[in-house]
Structure 1
């Protein structure tokens, strides 16, 4: 359909614009440390507050079946506006630790009405080729996640507030664009009755359960890896007395994952989502295990290794979401995607906090090996037959 060619770019652009809020706090982490007086523990603190908010939000959205009972475009716009407001709270002159936590918590809560709802909207338009569509959509999420690091690295202003202002305005633009340009999809089948136990029942579907566990293994690694890329580059700089610009390279490493999500979506049309997801999870897991070696390499090889990791750590995400969406009834796709996101991001909080603790226990170059637990468990779940699509 001609409409579909127009719809997908709008969803992609809106998803990119709104999810730029996700790492806005992490991109300006050094400035926030100075402003609040917190130390390096703020790395886990700032990101985890977003993750906690997202978990609470997805839990509420899943239990109330928001994305399946109400117009997804309206939900998306409302949450985009509210998330932008929470993000803008960081512009306040006097910001306490509690204010910082609540602002990022609120941002995360309303992102629950953006990321999984965006995937739900795509599923309402693309019954066939959903892996390709979600490849572009999750790619937009990844680029949005990386974007604040680019803004900070370009040093557009001496004031870190430029990052917060731009990402807040982008979110408002993205929410409005999607609402006015993307009506309810042709394959949308709304749920008219609230089913509080629907989420629990989904885990009785074998293909859903396998895809979900694979996704959980992926999430154990993904956000912890992203959160600690700047730390890894700073560690390399201190070991080798080099001056690698960590903000710019963090952007490139994360952004490459956005490109790989789109490429993986095209490959899934021929090989299937299961094979793309499994291969990506295997390769990122191997990079986890061998990561201590990277810190002893010349800077060019160190950056190549992390760029490859950035590619494979993200490319399985849209394919796991595709497997999840294809495993459940039409009227529960939104709830299934939201629930899996909720659990997956809960797992990411655990890995981020444990990685933060791990910093004081082992040599910094070994901390990423801890993340290999997720890919290993995810691959074991995917081995148990089924999931042929």
Structure 2
């Protein structure tokens, strides 16, 4: 049992490196195909659209509950890795790139939420800690292509794509051969699309899901536009910076906060951790005009690193609350549903920033993201289940 969590975490990290693989090489793609800067937002949204479509299909067909989660994870990682490779084909058009990134996102739906389902099938007590490490792996996996590019900037850009696909293949193999179905797994044998609606009738589940939705409005838009912030700073200052490396650090530091949040969730209820992290990231949204236009590299990086640290810490806590308050026989489907809606929200925020970037100064752009934390905090504070949850939490821990 001790080896199971590290294996799930490692596999999640390896496979989710596919997520921002395309974003990492956008300068080379833009140069080769004469694409505008706005293509960055479209590229990110293509993956998000694919993920939404995938989670919708997986949820409606209850795939993660009807079939072996480990096998679903394996086949999804292989197909996603192959579709990731496709963008290096000669003569590829911008539309085809978006189509292949859509496909990669579609099968990431069989990796990220299914990885959480596998973890929940093994761990009941201490689920917050388990999901903290798991979401931390997602964050590091998302950031990893930036690190690969920064270390291999003398090599052709295709190397990043090759590397991330190979990592995804390895991650899938680790799961299917070394992580069998968990002891807490309850298989759902019947097609039950009503789960999609009925699960939101559970008050504690609904509150956790709405908090997660507010978190997602901010998260991926911030991640997607980090290179834009850094390139803007570089164009307005004589300092030359390694944009991929700093992008990796700003995104990757969130993996540390996820893991720390998971560890302290044994002492502090996940809901309180989520509220604190969401509050800090919301404050960062509101303070962003004072820092984005800064001439000081140290001040800007300090702010972005703090924001990057806070913006992810609530993610595993919301996932924990969702998993704990979902029916056992449809836990995988419930996690997938919430992911589906959450990532749909990310497209709206990314495209809104993409459009607003043409109309307003970059310094004020990220005020738009403050709506997410405000909504999430409202959902959590207006929930009347806090006391009941705390009692439940204490009983479980005892």
- TM-score (norm. length: structure 2): 0.96
Which ranges in structure 2 are unaligned for 5 or more consecutive residues?
Answer: 394-398
1:78 equivalenced with 2:75 (yes/no): yes
Q: Would you say the 8 A contact 2:77–2:172 is kept in 1?
A: yes
Q: Would you say the 8 A contact 2:237–2:295 is kept in 1?
A: no
Q: Would you say the 8 A contact 1:235–1:365 is kept in 2?
A: no
Give a deviation string over 1:13-69, Cα, whole Å, max 9, x none: 000000000000000010111222211111111100000000000000000000011
Q: How does 1:312-351 map to 2 (within 5 A)?
A: 312-351=310-349
**Superposition deviation, residue 367 in structure 1:** 0.8
Counterpart selection for 2:270 from 250, 269, 273: 273
1:49 equivalenced with 2:46 (yes/no): yes
* Structure 2 CA distance for aligned equivalents of residues 252 and 187 of structure 1: 36
Matching residue of 2:385: 386
1:185 equivalenced with 2:182 (yes/no): yes
Matching residue of 2:297: 299
Moved more, 30-39 or 167-176: 30-39
Q: How does 1:64-143 map to 2 (within 5 A)?
A: 64-143=61-140
Moved more, 106-115 or 361-370: 361-370
Aligned length: 386
* Structure 2 CA distance for aligned equivalents of residues 311 and 361 of structure 1: 29
Matching residue of 2:261: 264
Matching residue of 2:216: 219
Q: Would you say the 8 A contact 2:84–2:101 is kept in 1?
A: yes
* Structure 2 CA distance for aligned equivalents of residues 297 and 309 of structure 1: 18
**Superposition deviation, residue 106 in structure 1:** 0.4
Matching residue of 2:150: 153
Matching residue of 2:248: 251
Q: Would you say the 8 A contact 1:87–1:168 is kept in 2?
A: yes
1:354 equivalenced with 2:359 (yes/no): no
* Structure 2 CA distance for aligned equivalents of residues 38 and 375 of structure 1: 33
Counterpart selection for 1:162 from 159, 162, 170: 159
- TM-score (norm. length: structure 1): 0.98
**Superposition deviation, residue 156 in structure 1:** 4.9
Q: Would you say the 8 A contact 1:35–1:95 is kept in 2?
A: no
* Structure 2 CA distance for aligned equivalents of residues 158 and 10 of structure 1: 31
* Structure 1 CA distance for aligned equivalents of residues 214 and 90 of structure 2: 40
Matching residue of 2:396: none
Give a deviation string over 1:167-221, Cα, whole Å, max 9, x none: 0000000001110000000100111111111110001000011000000000000
**Superposition deviation, residue 297 in structure 1:** 5.4
* Structure 2 CA distance for aligned equivalents of residues 374 and 82 of structure 1: 33
**Superposition deviation, residue 386 in structure 1:** 1.3
Counterpart selection for 2:373 from 372, 375, 380: 375
Give a deviation string over 1:53-89, Cα, whole Å, max 9, x none: 0000000000000001100000000000000000000
**Superposition deviation, residue 328 in structure 1:** 1.3
Please state whether the residue corresponding to 1:269 is helix, strand or coil: coil
**Superposition deviation, residue 244 in structure 1:** 2.2
Q: Would you say the 8 A contact 2:12–2:138 is kept in 1?
A: yes
* Structure 2 CA distance for aligned equivalents of residues 317 and 102 of structure 1: 28
* Structure 1 CA distance for aligned equivalents of residues 294 and 227 of structure 2: 17
